[in-house]
Structures are given as structure tokens and as C-alpha cells.
Structure 1
Amino acid sequence: MEQLKHFSHEHLLNLIQLHPDHNNENSDKEDEDEDKDDLVVEDRHVGKCKMCKEEIYSFHLCYYSCKDCDYSMHEFCAKLPTTQQNHPLHPGHNLTLSEGYQLHDPDINFIYNVDSEWKCDICKGNQKRFYNYHCSICKFNMDIICATMSKQKMDHPSHPHQLQRYFRQMMSRCNACGNEHSGSFYHCNTCSCFMIHLNCALLPAKLLIQESTNESFSHPHSLTLTYSFPYIEQKAKFFPRCRVCNGFFSACLWHYGCNKCRYYAHVDCATSKREAFMSILMRAGLGKTYKNFKDNDHPNLIRCPFPDESVNLLMHNFINKGELIIKGKIDGERFSHEHPLILFDTLLNGSISLHDPMKKVELLCDGCVRPITALPFYKCSEHDCGFVLHEWCTRLPSEIQDHHDHPEHTLVLMPKVPRKSLGIYFCKICLLPSNGFAYGCLQCEYYVDTNCGFIPDVITHEAHPNHLLLRFKAPVDQYVRACKACRFSMAKRLGFHCPACDFYLHTKYALLLPRTIRHKYDEHPLSLRYSPVENHISEYFCDICEDEFNPTKWFYHCSTCASSMHTACAPLKLQCEQSTYSEYNSSTFVFSNVKFGRTHEIMGHPHPLTFVQGISDDGQCSVCNERLQYHTVLKCFRCKFALHVRCAILPT
């Protein structure tokens, strides 16, 4: 071991070798048994140099230390000569090394070392009891930091060339994090535009964030520091956003990431060096939020998503078991039905079965077009008629005054919308087609389905817990606001938002997607997911349509089978599962509010036609020759005849 006797210390100093802890690890493979002791956030230095008073960092490679006492110094500080000739910063005169600064008394021709504050003529910094080089001829003083600047270099894995420290403290934009910093910078002499702040240069190659964020955000795995995020890689991952601040990534800036969980964060977000993750400033459900309301102030608050397909908004609004009036029979004329309706409160002799997708049994309410999964409910007294209603749908009010989206006119309950083929209309709020009951204004041709007729003023949602979500309608210029579920614009759409956070949600995702669903393709319940699944080592493919999808958009997932599917590919209507339709590849099923299955007579065809969703095998419309797939279709099962509903001429 090399030893040095230095004039500033009474003991011998030993040369200690350092090993930089920076390794550019961009591989998707991580050692599952990695030692967590190597994942320390602030393992940046080994002490201070007694001469220049600056930290000794790992990139200095080696330093001198005393084994008998706490005394260390940089290698380049320890080897400074007591006299320098022709120093680049002060050529022509000799410079003398001393502590403090020197004052020459010409009367006695003696030089004093003065223990008071002095200023470096290079960096203009004020110093006291600090080693410097002094020129007695020019009264020039230069601290040893400036004197050794040309030797303060680092080899950093983010850049192919050696980096040189700038001569003085400065404020500039860092090429690592993209933010402005003040302090020490290192730059490349070859690439004049590249420079990084010292703090960014010392970022650990591995980072665990659970214990350093005050529970504001967390991730169970170590994050790897990566020095770029190329556009093609971001595109392959569907342009992920920072899981702390929800911001986008720059292709040239550094970030921390866990590829197997698709968890990515800006370097200063992951290290808690910015305050964007604080609850009051935090965006869109990324991290821990603190409750901003009292339950007693909202006794009837709707908490979304609903547990499963058996619960819906109308049930929440109208059922009151303490005041439920049971009737054995009601008149069907109120609902434009020609037969009386009988209350079913028991299931006898297998005459009818409740909705159960696992048993391929479908029973949909003709009013709200939601599944009937529990007793009691009303059914048409005629055995062959499939008209059924939830008990609470029989108690829908006949009109709605001052509807929030159409306050100028009263909306009237319409069991069948007039002047619409098969009663199919498009809801003005969720924009989905429906053939269920509607609340409408004939004067304005304004129609909404029964669920959208009673959208609450405020809800909560577990995708953004503890904060109230208020109903609002985005103005035309609100295009920059994107729905958290589908990532598409909120412009001119009714939805919910959190005023304190950048969180927006279309109405249909909040109210139509249950927390869990059952699907015949999976024996386990599938849960609604709002972000990528932890330890998901592969890409995300929908088990129904087999297309790859973006896991930052909502989807359903079975953690037991590791299977996933689009929210649009998990419909509750059995006959539609053979040909799913995904609007923008991430949405609610486009025919969620349509009840298929009834037969109809049309002019020009001798057989009854069944109302179904078109599939690829149906080919083209017999009238307009356009494809039938993904459209509402009338189809003859006796002969190869099918046409769009819009092309059919129905008897008056």
C-alpha cells in the first residue's frame, strides 16, 4: 500500500482505492436474490477532504486516509506542490501554498499568514482558514479547489467521454434530469453541450423508494437508473408516464424504471427531490392521497366502481328495502308492453334462470339493460315473451325536471323512443347506443338512458381514492384533459373530475365498469386494473381478441391465471362474445346498453329475423352491401339473409 507523509498531518497517510458504483444496467433481467444493502439511496461519499473541505466521492477512484484518526484527503490535494510555477490561471509568477492568506510587510521583508476572511480571485468565493496559492507580487489568491480544477474529472457511464468539472459554481440546466440546478457541474470538453449536475452524477444505479417517500408513492422492486428512453422504446411500451407526477418522458433524459412492472419515474420524482407528489399538488391518483371529505357530510355517496354486475346506479338510487312495496302484478301498459307483468320472488321448476355468464345464462332488464342477478324482478305473464324488469326499474319516475345536461325542458320516460328503428337511440351523455328505456325531449330529440338520467353530482372512485369526484362537462377547449381510463379527450363530454388533482374520468367508465366480472374464459373472477400488474414479465395481450394492449389504460386481469382482457372485450352479453368490438381498443363494450335476441318481421322477407350483433361470417348487408360485422343486424337463421337495422323497412 502506498503511503505518504504530508506536511498537514503528523501520521502517515495510506492510499485507499475506491470502486465506482455506477453501472448502466438496462437489461430486463434482474437478480431476484440481489443484496438490498447495495441499493442505498445516498451512498455517495466517504468523507471530506481536510484540505479543500469537499466530499470525497466514488468517482475520485482513490484517496489518502489516516488509519489512526479521522483524516482524509483527495489524492490530487495530497500531492499538491508547495510552490507552483507558471500555473495556467496565473502564469509568470510563483504561487506559494499556505493556509489562510499571506500579507507581505515590506519594512521587515516578512510574509504573514493572516487568519481572517479572504476572497479567491478566480471563483470570487469568500474563504477563511482555507488552503490557497498566493502570489506576493500581485497580491493574488487562489483557493486550492480552483487550483486543482483541471484534475477534477470523472468517468461516468452515461457518457462516452471523460467529464471535467466547471471552474466555478453556476446555475444551468442539467442534461441528466432536464431541470435547472445551482452548484457544481461536470461537462464534456468534446461534446460542448453536455453537462450534468454533481447531484445527478451521483445518483445510485439501483434505488429502492419505499422508505424514502413518506408513503406518498412506492414500488416493491428496485428501480434501475437508465440514461435515455428512446422514442421507439417508449412507443413499444405505449408511451408510459411517470408514476409519480404523471408527466411524459424525454428521450434524452435519465429515468428510473422497473421493466417487469412497467414502473417508470423521473429521476427527481423517484428520489423525492421535487414536491409534485404531495397530496395537494399530486396528479391523477399516482401515490397516496389524503381524505378531503367527511363521510357524515355525504351519507348517500356513491362509491365506484360497483362491486360486480349485480349492482348499478338505478339500484343504488331507487331500492330501499325498508320501504319496498311488493306487488304481485302490475300493468304493462305503463311501459308500452301489451301484457301484465308478474313479480318473480322465487324461482320455480326451472321456468326462468337468473343471469349467470359462467353458465351461459343471460337475463337482461328491458329498462336499464343491466343483468338481473337477484330476486325479486318482474316478468311478462306470457310464457314466450322475454320482457323483464328489475323491481326498481318499475318505480322509475315518469319525468325528470331540470336535468343537469338539458335543464331547459322536462325529460319524459319513454319505454320506446319514437321514430327510431327498433327503438335504438344514442345516449347524449355516454354516447352509447341503447334500446332500453330513455328519458327524452321530443322537441330537441334529446335522449339519455335511464342510468345517465340520474348521474349523481359527486362520487368517489378507488382509482383515485379519498378524493371526491365532481360531475362536470368539459368545454370545447378542454381537449388537453384526458380521461384516466381511456386516455382520450374529455372535450364536450360529461364526466367526473377531482378539482385538487389532474384526474378526469368519462361517465361510462365510472358507472358501467364493475370492480370484478365473471367470464366463461376464466374460472376466476377478473378484477378491474388501473395500472400495469406487478411482476408481469411479458407483454399484455387480450385473451379474447388476442391484440396487444396498453396496460396504463384500464383492463380486467386475473392474477391467478395471469390472463388479461380489454374492458370492451369482457361484455356481459353472451351472444356478443363471439365478436367483440373495442372502440379505440380500450373502452366499454359498444353495445353495453343494447339487448339483443328478439325476432322481428320486415317487409320483403318471408321469415322472422333475429336482432343480433353482426359478426364477420355474416358478410355484407343484403341492401347496402356494406359489412355487417360490429353493427346491429337483423339476421335470418333459416336462410343466408342479413341486413343492417338501419336498412330494414319495419311494418308500421
Structure 2
Amino acid sequence: MDSSIVVMDPLHHFDHEHPLYLVHLPQQAHHKNENADDEDEDEVEDEVEFVEEDRQCNLCKEQIWSFHLCYYSCKTCNYSLHKFCAELHRKLQNHPLHPGRHLSFSSGKEYLWVSLWYLSHPHQLERMSWPIVSSCVACGNKHEGVFFQCTTCPRFLVNLECALLPTKLLIQNHTDGSFTHSHPLTLAYSFPYLDILAKYLPLCRVCGHRFYSHLWIYKCDKCLYYVHVDCATSKREPFMSIFQTASLGKTYKNFKEDEYPNLLHCPFQDEGDNLLKRYMSNQHKLIGDSKQHGGEMLTHASHQHALILFDKQTPAGASLHDPMKRIQLLCDGCVKPIMTVPFYVCCQYDDEQYCFVLHEWCAKLPAEVQEYVGHLEHTLVLLPKIPSKFFGVFKCAVCELPSNGFSYGCTICNFYVDINCAFIPKEITHDAHPNHLLSIVKPSDTQSEEYCKACGYWVGQRNLVYHCSSCNFYIDVECALLLPRVIKHKLDKHPLNLRYEPAENHTSEYFCEICEYQFTPWEWFYHCTTCAQSVHAACVPLILQCEQNTYADNRKCVYEFLNVKFGGTLEIKDHSHSLAFVQGLESDGRCSKCRNRLQYKMIFKCLECEYALHFECASSSVN
């Protein structure tokens, strides 16, 4: 291994006659071949290992490892010191084991034992005479080798590697390539439980497992970044390798790209992109090869009037969906924004609004879906509206969100999914868990400890979720497919980016700029780095008419009414005016029938008086 001597003021150590110079240890890496084919580059990753230097510390007589990052060396003779050992003081004043007197340095390891007490433990630590196999109180893992033992607490054993860990560690260039962080990390000898609670119950950024208050950690003073000590150094012993689970931080691919030519990469870029668009764009017979032109007419089973195609520009006086300008245009099929042409419009439209609109791909959906992954028993049939559902609103069997758009359903089993969930792929990749394949699975009710990494909800009773077979990693279907990478909102002039963990240089508490509630940054949220503003993922909906009260009671990452297009009116026998279908706001008060609050609910509201009903109460009033 090549080492580089840093040119700086030399260290004159009291135990050596010559000046000592600081030597930095570079990482031992196997780099990619820049001339290799793309295919090969996908398979070859940088590999970094911590290795022994061919030298020992002349003070403590222990090995110098590359994870120590640097050491002091003499240019004149073969003399080296750990940086930790070189910076020990010659005298220690008023030590508790010998109060009122000075302790002077002597050759051997006596002074090192005292130093270990000074850093982490109230008693003297002695180096054991022979290697043992034992658990380490610093990292919590079993090790085989040299240990330091407390003279007062026999069960307090620290392995040699943990005893010599640096107090500052920059992991960006000195790990196995699995993870990085731009700031130096500080060694902490405990993580008090009250601090764990105050920091939103963080998990290790490398392995994804919990912290224990009595174990050592590395932490960042500028970010909410915490990592186990052995994860930070990535130094794993072969002795324990068979007991270790796969790391969430690993970036090495567990699949081959050429075996999945149509693999979907999530999240989608913005609000204008979605699963249905991707799927239908690949069906050349339906989309892309069409010879239709603007102004041509289409008769569709979902609407009583003919539909007209706009393929170059929108009609006069009308605009595409634009959240920054508070303009809403949602497809009646998928209930997703229409942000580009072409799209279909009811020929009875006026200059102020469209009464019925469809994406081009939603107008050309297949009539059936066979061998659906979530319902293999029967073929699913396209249903513009489900006749048995009041106001066309149903609960999707996969994402479990209410919807009044098109659906695919089995009337025999009363099984219905929205048209986006009807085409969910069996495998995807996601930026939240890079380079690992996520496969669709139906979790067992016995998996009581498995939770969605996005929203933190238990996945045991979900119909379908995405799972990484290499790691303990789950994402709900809606969290994986319905949250775009970038979103726009009127609260910030900059785009908001989806984050899967706390932002760098942000140690303060997180408050949503919309609902003003505090939230945990370990669940997915949107963030503007420029303005240092954060927002719940559920508080940045595409539905503009509900922007005053967007945070639904269920506290999930996905806005509860993301698949509901509000609008339309209802006539009931108990009220003389028409009722508008809207989302309830705080100002709407209580239901005129059941007297429960209307806020955050689907409601029918009179625009001429204060009469309003919950969706369920309105349904019973009609029936």
C-alpha cells in the first residue's frame, strides 16, 4: 500500500530522539476499468478493504491498520506510532487511582490502559495476556483476539480494534464503498435512550438496524447521521461473517441488467410521469403508432358524448395542469395530472373548464387484464364506473386508496384495483434502495416485524408490497409508485425533492411548512435544500382544491385522496339544494347527520347554506 507523508510541523515525541511526521493511509481500492464496456461497468464496483500496514506501533506494540487513517513515522529509523499513542501526554495529573500525585509515562502499555479509562470508562483497563473469543462492550459483537478488561468490572471487555478506534473518522473515502458521508464523524461512547427518542428513533445508516444506548457509535455533529462503530469502519471478522445479515448500505448489484430489459426504475421523475403512461407507451399498437390527428373524434364507453383529440395545443382559454399557477387538470381515467398533449376532451366542453378529459393512453386501455399478480383466479375487466359503488368511489385492493377513476375488477369476487395498480410490474428498482432488485410479494400475517421503509406502517396485512430478497427492506406499492422524485408547490419557488433520510447540515427539528406539525425525517418527505424547507409527502398533493387542509388523518406518506377527482353534484331527498362533492375543510364544521367532524374527509357540501354530509351519510341519504 502506498502512503503519503504530510508536510507539516514535525512532532517531537518524548520517547524518540528523531522528529516524527504524519503519514496518511490511502484506501485499498480496486477501481473500475474506464475502458470497459457499460455491461462490465455495471458488474464491477469499487472494492475497499481495511488492511494491515507492515509495521507496529512502538508504544503499544499493536498493529497499525488502514482504518486508523494515519500514523506518525520517523524518516531516519524504523519507528512508528499510532496517532492516538503519539498524542498521549507525558504526565497525567491527579488521576483518581492515584490522587494528589503525577503519573509519568513509562515504557510498555501501562499508560495506554489509563488512557482507555480516561476516554470511556471510570476504571483502569488491563490488556489480557492471551487472545479470547468474547463479546465487546463497545460494538456489541463477538470477536476473536486481544481484549482489554476492566480491573473492577470483569465483564467489561473491549476488543483491541474498538479500543484503538479514532475519535474522528471521515468515512467518505475509507469504507468498502457501501456508503458515504461528507462530514467527519465523532466517536461517542454511548447513545442515551432519551437522546435516541429525541432524534426520532434513528436507525444505523449502513445496516438499518436499531441502536442500543450502552454501545459506542459514530455520529455527525452537523447532521442526523448515526452509525454503528463496526459499520462505520466496515471491518468485519471472518469469524462472525456467517452470522451477519446483509447491509442496507450495500451498493453492489444483486441482479443483471440484461436479464431485466424492461425493468422499471423508481421513483418517477415528476407529476407528469406515472406507471400507466410508461406501460401504455410500450404498447406500440395502442400508443405511439397512432395515425390520429388533432380534432379527430373518439367514442368511449366511459362517456355519453364523443371525445375530441387535442395533440398540438390546448383549446382557447384552457390550460394544462400547473400547480405553480394553481391550475388543475386531472384525467377522469387515472386521476393523474394532464401536463402535456395529446389528450381527449368531451366535445361539449366550454371555454372555462372541461367536463370530461382523458390522457391518450387512458382512452386506449385494454378491455381485460389476465393473470393479474394480485388476483390469479379470474380475468379483470375494465370498468369506467363500478355500478355498485356510490358515486363511483371504490377502495383499491392493492394501494388501499379510495378512487373514483377507471378500474379493473372481478365482479365475482368483488375485487377492484385502480388502473395504475392494474399494471404494477413484478420487479422494480428504487433510489431509496439502489442497485437491489425489489420484487412484488404478498406478505404473510406472521411477519409482525416488517414495516414499510417509506411510511413505517406494518406490511403484514397488505395485499402486495415490494421486497428486497437480499435485505430486510419493504416498500408499500403506493409509496414506491405514487411519490415522484420532484414535485412543485406554491409554498416554494424551487422544486421539492423526495428524501428518504434526514438532510445534510440539518440538525434541528423537522416541521412541515404546510400543516406545521413536527415529523420524523426517517420517513419519506419532500425537502428544498436551498430554503431548508421540509414538507410531509402527504401534504404536497396534486389536488389543488384541497391545499388548505391536505394532511389526512392516517399519517401515511401518500395523500389519502390522490386517486379521487372531486367535483360533480348530488341531489338528496333531505335537502333542497344540490350538494358538491369536495374534501372537507376545518371551516366546514360537523356533519349535519352524524355530527362528526368533516375535516379531511370526502363530503357533500351545500354551496348555498351550511348543510354538509360525510360521504357515507350522503350515501345512506340517497338510498
TM-score, normalized by length of structure 2?
0.79
Higher mean C-alpha deviation, range 421-430 or range 384-393:
384-393
Question: Partners of 1:510 and 1:219 in 2: how far apart?
Answer: 25
CA contact (8 A) 1:601 1:608 kept: yes
**Is the counterpart of residue 226 in structure 1 residue 188 in structure 2?**
yes
Q: Secondary structure at the match of 1:568?
A: helix
**Residue of structure 1 aligned with 2:253, choices 290, 293, 306:** 290
Q: Secondary structure at the match of 2:126?
A: strand
**Residue of structure 1 aligned with 2:498, choices 528, 532, 557:** 528
Counterpart residue identity of residue 377, structure 2: E
Question: Partners of 1:455 and 1:552 in 2: how far apart?
Answer: 26
Question: Partners of 1:376 and 1:70 in 2: how far apart?
Answer: 76
Question: Partners of 2:261 and 2:419 in 1: how far apart?
Answer: 23
Q: 1:590 to 1:348 in 2, by over 3 A?
A: closer
Query: Corresponding residue for 2:534?
Result: 564
Question: Partners of 2:576 and 2:527 in 1: how far apart?
Answer: 46
**Residue of structure 2 aligned with 1:241, choices 200, 203, 209:** 203
Tell me how far 1:171 sits from its aligned partner.
2.5
Counterpart residue identity of residue 344, structure 1: F
Question: Partners of 1:322 and 1:383 in 2: how far apart?
Answer: 26
Q: 1:275 to 1:650 in 2, by over 3 A?
A: farther
CA contact (8 A) 2:525 2:557 kept: no
Q: 1:444 to 1:156 in 2, by over 3 A?
A: same
Query: Corresponding residue for 2:271?
Result: 309
Query: Corresponding residue for 1:270?
Result: 232
Counterpart residue identity of residue 550, structure 2: T
Query: Corresponding residue for 1:324?
Result: 290
Query: Corresponding residue for 1:370?
Result: 336
Query: Corresponding residue for 1:454?
Result: 423
Q: Secondary structure at the match of 1:269?
A: helix
Query: Corresponding residue for 2:379?
Result: 410
Tell me how far 1:650 sits from its aligned partner.
6.2
Query: Corresponding residue for 1:505?
Result: 475
Tell me how far 1:557 sits from its aligned partner.
1.1
**Is the counterpart of residue 419 in structure 1 residue 365 in structure 2?**
no
CA contact (8 A) 2:206 2:247 kept: no
Counterpart residue identity of residue 471, structure 1: I
Q: Secondary structure at the match of 2:197?
A: helix
Q: 1:549 to 1:36 in 2, by over 3 A?
A: farther
Question: Partners of 2:251 and 2:554 in 1: how far apart?
Answer: 30
Tell me how far 1:594 sits from its aligned partner.
0.3
Q: 1:617 to 1:160 in 2, by over 3 A?
A: same
Counterpart residue identity of residue 211, structure 1: N
Question: Partners of 1:67 and 1:477 in 2: how far apart?
Answer: 63
Tell me how far 1:611 sits from its aligned partner.
0.7
TM-score, normalized by length of structure 1?
0.76
**Residue of structure 2 aligned with 1:358, choices 308, 324, 335:** 324
Q: Deviations over 1:551-584 (max 9, x none)?
A: 1211111111111111111100001111112455
Query: Corresponding residue for 1:48?
Result: 58
Question: Partners of 1:159 and 1:71 in 2: how far apart?
Answer: 30
Q: Secondary structure at the match of 1:156?
A: helix
**Is the counterpart of residue 445 in structure 1 residue 445 in structure 2?**
no
Q: 1:394 to 1:70 in 2, by over 3 A?
A: closer
CA contact (8 A) 2:398 2:421 kept: yes
Query: Corresponding residue for 2:6?
Result: none
Tell me how far 1:156 sits from its aligned partner.
3.0
Query: Corresponding residue for 1:626?
Result: 596
**Residue of structure 1 aligned with 2:432, choices 445, 449, 463:** 463
Question: Partners of 1:38 and 1:53 in 2: how far apart?
Answer: 19
How does 1:18-417 map onto structure 2 within 5 Å?
A: 47-48=57-58, 153-154=114-115, 155-274=117-236, 283=246, 285-290=248-253, 292-295=255-258, 297-319=259-281, 320=284, 322-326=288-292, 328-332=296-300, 334-335=301-302, 337-347=303-313, 350-383=316-349, 386-417=355-386
CA contact (8 A) 2:183 2:222 kept: no
Q: Secondary structure at the match of 2:279?
A: helix
Counterpart residue identity of residue 314, structure 1: L
How does 1:487-502 map onto structure 2 within 5 Å?
A: 487-493=456-462, 494-502=464-472
CA contact (8 A) 2:386 2:392 kept: yes
Query: Corresponding residue for 1:16?
Result: 15
Question: Partners of 2:217 and 2:154 in 1: how far apart?
Answer: 23
Higher mean C-alpha deviation, range 568-577 or range 235-244:
235-244
Counterpart residue identity of residue 389, structure 2: K
Q: Secondary structure at the match of 1:646?
A: helix
Counterpart residue identity of residue 416, structure 1: K
CA contact (8 A) 1:531 1:551 kept: yes
CA contact (8 A) 1:421 1:646 kept: no
Question: Partners of 1:205 and 1:38 in 2: how far apart?
Answer: 16
Structure whose alpha-carbon radius of gyration is higher = 1
Question: Partners of 1:584 and 1:630 in 2: how far apart?
Answer: 10
CA contact (8 A) 1:285 1:465 kept: no
Counterpart residue identity of residue 596, structure 1: F
Higher mean C-alpha deviation, range 438-447 or range 590-599:
438-447
Q: 1:453 to 1:188 in 2, by over 3 A?
A: same
Tell me how far 1:591 sits from its aligned partner.
0.4
CA contact (8 A) 2:149 2:156 kept: yes
Tell me how far 1:510 sits from its aligned partner.
1.4
Question: Partners of 2:388 and 2:486 in 1: how far apart?
Answer: 37
Q: Deviations over 1:89-118 (max 9, x none)?
A: xxxxxxxxxxxxxxxxxxxxxxxxxxxxxx
Tell me how far 1:407 sits from its aligned partner.
1.5
Query: Corresponding residue for 1:549?
Result: 519
Counterpart residue identity of residue 379, structure 1: V
Structural RMSD (CA): 3.5
Question: Partners of 2:512 and 2:588 in 1: how far apart?
Answer: 24
Q: Deviations over 1:507-538 (max 9, x none)?
A: 11111111111111111111111122111242
Tell me how far 1:177 sits from its aligned partner.
1.0
CA contact (8 A) 2:139 2:229 kept: yes
Higher mean C-alpha deviation, range 366-375 or range 153-162:
153-162
Matched pairs, number: 538
Q: 1:284 to 1:522 in 2, by over 3 A?
A: farther
CA contact (8 A) 1:242 1:248 kept: yes
Question: Partners of 1:71 and 1:460 in 2: how far apart?
Answer: 51
CA contact (8 A) 1:149 1:166 kept: no
CA contact (8 A) 1:553 1:586 kept: no
Tell me how far 1:503 sits from its aligned partner.
2.3
Question: Partners of 1:68 and 1:604 in 2: how far apart?
Answer: 100
CA contact (8 A) 1:583 1:589 kept: no
Q: Deviations over 1:161-199 (max 9, x none)?
A: 222333443322211111122333333333343232232
Counterpart residue identity of residue 225, structure 2: Y
**Is the counterpart of residue 429 in structure 1 residue 398 in structure 2?**
yes
Counterpart residue identity of residue 495, structure 2: P
Higher mean C-alpha deviation, range 312-321 or range 407-416:
312-321
Tell me how far 1:427 sits from its aligned partner.
0.4
Query: Corresponding residue for 1:28?
Result: none
Question: Partners of 1:396 and 1:68 in 2: how far apart?
Answer: 79
Q: Secondary structure at the match of 1:517?
A: strand
Tell me how far 1:56 sits from its aligned partner.
11
Q: 1:284 to 1:422 in 2, by over 3 A?
A: farther
Counterpart residue identity of residue 626, structure 1: N
Counterpart residue identity of residue 367, structure 2: S
Q: 1:507 to 1:639 in 2, by over 3 A?
A: same
**Is the counterpart of residue 574 in structure 1 residue 537 in structure 2?**
no
> What 5-or-longer segments of structure 2 have no aligned partner?
1-12, 28-49, 66-72, 86-106
Query: Corresponding residue for 2:5?
Result: none
Question: Partners of 2:344 and 2:79 in 1: how far apart?
Answer: 88
> What 5-or-longer segments of structure 1 have no aligned partner?
1-13, 19-34, 58-64, 75-143
Question: Partners of 1:184 and 1:348 in 2: how far apart?
Answer: 75
Q: Deviations over 1:216-275 (max 9, x none)?
A: 221111100001111111111111111111111111000101142212111111112127
